[in-house]
A and B are shown apart, each in its own frame.
Chain A
Amino acid sequence: MFITFKVVTTFAQDPLEKAGKRMEIIRMENVSVTVKEEQKNKLIFSDLNLSVNKGEKVLIRGRSGIGKTTVFRLILGFTRPSTGDIYFEGEHVDPGNIWNIRKRIAHISQDSDIGEGPVIALFEEVFSYGSNRDKFKRNDLKNLLSEFSLREDVLNNRFENLSGGEKQRISIIISLMINKDVFFLDEVTSDLDSALKEKVAEFFLSNPEWTVLVISHDPEWERGGVRVIDFASIVSGTEVNGHGSK
């Protein structure tokens, strides 16, 4: 995976895309979300329609609390839509499919809260899961640490004592090592300096096989080949609330 990135760098070269035969990865049809607050149902948004094809790079923007994170949560089955349908690679997001769907997505949430204890132990835990077994490659880890300007001894530190930027980079490295080709990245570069933001964006956006959905306020993600979506333009009803559901 690490090597793939080094070799293939241009998104526009993909032959499938030229032929217009890209597989649809995500489809959301007329989705609305309400949350229960103080015994009342509160609308987060309604009429969300979204389609993302394989290999697409999508940047979702919009003011805080508008419900951007909820899009990821809906596809991952963490939040249930009150109406509408959601499909991942053609499979309906429902209890029968959700466990399998989750295994095909690498998701990093905005708080990067993946656990506590020594960083190396977190790696061991993630790679002990049945779906990740045998995916751990020591060399990949070494290369990725240096790629994202982390020293190897960070592995011995406790995750909860790391800085926000270090936590984000560790989460990014884990998400890269579990070998998925769909990424949901929720504000994963907010605590990084500009050069690292640039590097992380380049890393994720340059692989034509990867489908990458990004929620970010960082301009580094805006570049050629990235579809920028203003969240307010794909939903309605967002003005009735001032907060998203997390």
Chain B
Amino acid sequence: MAANDISMLGLLFCFMLLLIPVGISHYLKLQLIGQTLESTFRMAVQLTLVGFFLTFVFDLNSAVLNIAWVMVMVMVASHTVLKNAELKMQSLIAPLAISFAITNLGMLLYFNGLIIDLKDVFEARYFIPIAGMVLGNSLRTNIVGINDFSGQIQRNENRYLSRLSLGAEKYEALMPYMRKSLRNALKPTLADMATIGIVFLPGMMTGQILGGSSPLLAIEYQITIMIAIYVTTVMNVVLGILILMYRGFDEYGMFKRSMLKKE
């Protein structure tokens, strides 16, 4: 039993719902009408294109193409992290993309090969959506982690220097910041995990149930994907901060202020 198809009339009804936020924005002078329409339009166009593209990719089901598509996702993810961080791209984008690629590919292979036990670990129907879930969900955490870390260094530089002058190596002196940033970054993900199922039913599970899977199968997938997301997130954010530790400091161990977008 597959999900009921949504007719054009159904879609029209759905878009009509937007009259509510548009009306509120107009009445309360929120100046969000343009943005609401633009964002909705972009979402619809992007998803339509992706829909066609994925249909093509799924039909073709070529491992090379699937990996290439995931690499594009990794590049976009790395770019998004840095765009939202207070740091300049040049010296960070390549190592960040490489570390994302390694952790995400590693996790995908492990997940598809050992957990779901697929014959073809690159099978598009699994490989691409799971990559999207893992990457998408670790993005926010990465942005929080990297921003928190660079923010702490700037705010408490004297504390860092004090540690250096009390005998710490660079990594020893930066470790308290790293600990704090990791905690700050991972807490929301952990909170999400703790409330899942009760407060909200996640999209993947809902999708599977709508697609005709039994709730129990959907739950199995949801549990495993949540763990995969959390583990990948931890690896990504640790690597992101390590990259910043390595690239963000000069040979004297001083934070490179030239890396900041606003000096």
Give the B-binding residues of A (Cβ under 8 A).
76-78, 80, 95, 98-99, 102-103, 105-109, 111, 113-115, 125-126, 128-132, 174-175, 178, 184
Contact = CB atoms under 8 A, between A and B. Distances in A.
B164 interface: yes
Interface stretch (B6-14, B154-162, B197-205): B154-162
B254 interface: yes
Interface stretch (B36-44, B126-134, B167-175): B167-175
27 contacts: A76-B161, A76-B164, A76-B165, A77-B252, A78-B254, A80-B252, A95-B251, A98-B252, A99-B169, A99-B253, A102-B167, A107-B162, A107-B165, A109-B162, A111-B158, A114-B166, A115-B159, A115-B162, A115-B176, A126-B166, A126-B168, A129-B168, A130-B172, A174-B166, A175-B166, A178-B166, A184-B165
Contacts of A115: 159, 162-163, 176
Nearest to B172: A129
A115 B251 CA distance: 24
Contacts of A109: 158, 161-162, 165
* Interchain residue pairs A-B with the least CB separation, the first 4: A107-B165, A95-B251, A131-B167, A77-B252
A105 B165 contact: yes
Contacts of A95: 251-252
A216 to B, nearest CB: 18
Interface of B: 156, 158-159, 161-170, 172, 176, 251-254
A103 B167 contact: yes
B220 to A, nearest CB: 42
A234 B251 CA distance: 29
B159 A114 contact: yes
A178 B162 CA distance: 13
A125 B251 CA distance: 24
Nearest to A76: B165
A102 B168 CA distance: 9
A102 B163 CA distance: 10
A182 B17 CA distance: 73
Contacts of A108: 162
Given A129-B172, A130-B169, 12 more contacts: A76-B165, A77-B252, A77-B254, A78-B164, A78-B252, A99-B253, A102-B164, A106-B165, A113-B159, A128-B172, A178-B166, A178-B167
Contacts of A99: 169-170, 253
A134 to B, nearest CB: 12
B165 A126 contact: no
Nearest to A112: B162
A129 B166 contact: yes
Contacts of B170: 99
Given A129-B168, A129-B172, A130-B172, A114 B163 contact: yes
Contacts of B159: 113-115
A111 B156 CA distance: 11
Contacts of A125: 163, 176
A91 to B, nearest CB: 14
A103 B173 CA distance: 13
A141 to B, nearest CB: 15
A80 B256 CA distance: 13
B12 to A, nearest CB: 56
Nearest to A107: B165
A132 B169 CA distance: 11
A99 B163 CA distance: 12
Contacts of A129: 163, 166-169, 172
A113 B162 contact: yes
A157 to B, nearest CB: 18
Interface centre among B156, B165, B169, B251 (most CB of A within 10 A): B165
Contacts of B161: 76, 78, 109
Contacts of A103: 167
Contacts of B251: 95
Nearest to B158: A113
A113 B164 CA distance: 12
B156 A106 contact: no
Given A78-B161, A107-B165, A131-B167, A113 B156 contact: yes
